Amino acid sequence: MSYATQQELIDRYGEPMLVELSDHADPPANAIDGTVVARALADADATIDGYLKGRYALPLASTPPLVRNLALVMAIYNLHRSAASDKIRKDYDDAIRTLRDIANGVVRLDVAGVEPDSSGASGVRTNDRCRDFTPDNLEGYI
């Protein structure tokens, strides 16, 4: 299951942009190359799965809006063969940062029941050494 579709890319970025980025035919066919777009979407899905794998059971039962948004941003970036615009590059960097936050548990996805069980630990546990000086052995000094 892909997190985003070609139609969602068209809805967000427009058909002319997808034609420009995916039509590698010689001479140009002036149409969206579905194979190129599918490869960009699959690459975005693989990157997302790499970040989600440690925290969520895959495949996700449903695609949260945040994951769909990340997939669209990453796919449009993947479609650029040469340098992407500053906006697209910044959006991609933000998407990777968000995926890191999801992997670290800072951002949680709204998907019920798929986050792995925790270890039950509630934090760091330390044991202090025995005290050399106590009120009993310092009687008369204190």
Please tell me the predicted confidence (pLDDT) of residue 126. Answer: 74
With respect to residue 142, please indicate whether it lies within any of the assigned structural domains: no
pTM equals 0.77
Q: Tell me, yes or no, whether 14 lies in a domain.
A: yes
Q: How far apart are the first and last CA of the chain?
A: 72
- pLDDT tens digits for 94-139? 999 999 999 998 998 887 545 555 555 666 777 777 777 777 888 8
Q: What is the pLDDT of residue 6?
A: 96
Give kind and range of the element (H or E) at residue 75: helix 65-79
Q: Which residues contact 32 (CB under 8 A, 6 or more apart)?
A: 6, 10, 15, 18, 19, 22, 23
Three-state DSSP class for 92? Answer: helix
Instruction: Identify the domain containing residue 17 by its residue range.
Output: 6-104
Number of domains in the chain: 1
Amino acid at the residue 67: V
Q: Does 115 reside within a domain?
A: no
The answer to whether residue 112 is domain-embedded is no
Distance (Å, rounded) from C-alpha 137 to C-alpha 135? 6
